[in-house]
Amino acid sequence: MSNENILVNEARFKIKEARISTGMNQADLGQYLSRSRTWIIFREREEKDLFLADLLKISQATAKPLAWFFQRDSEHLWENRCKKLMQELEFLIEKHYHDGNSKK
């Protein structure tokens, strides 16, 4: 299997940190990868897939070892967990509000 087909989405959350640490903006990194600024934005927001071939280039551009992109820090884990909890809470509030109004 070639690098172009191996998904490494779990590493997307570190792209922005790596880029900023080297003083690059999204356009700079996109140019290095022969990709658009929009392509970078979607990967940084974790909205589009990231493949190993691209991550290898990002690793080279930012001088970060490949393994660095797979290290999760506790702040990121808590941030994602809080987002999920807030979504669940908003869903429950909306459901309760909707159910309450339909009974009247």
Span 13-66, pLDDT tens digits: 899 999 999 999 999 999 999 999 999 999 999 899 999 999 999 999 999 999
Mean pLDDT of 1-12: 74
pLDDT at res. 74: 57
pLDDT of residue 100: 67
Same domain, 8 and 33: yes
Q: Which domain holds residue 101?
A: 72-104
Same domain, 6 and 50: yes
44 with 92, same domain: the answer is no
Number of domains into which the chain is organized:
2
Same domain, 89 and 44: no
Q: Is the same domain home to 66 and 77?
A: no
Same domain, 57 and 94: no
> What's 51's domain CATH number?
1.10.260.40
The pTM score is 0.66
Could you tell me if 22 and 57 lie in one domain? Answer: yes
d(CA 42, CA 4): 18
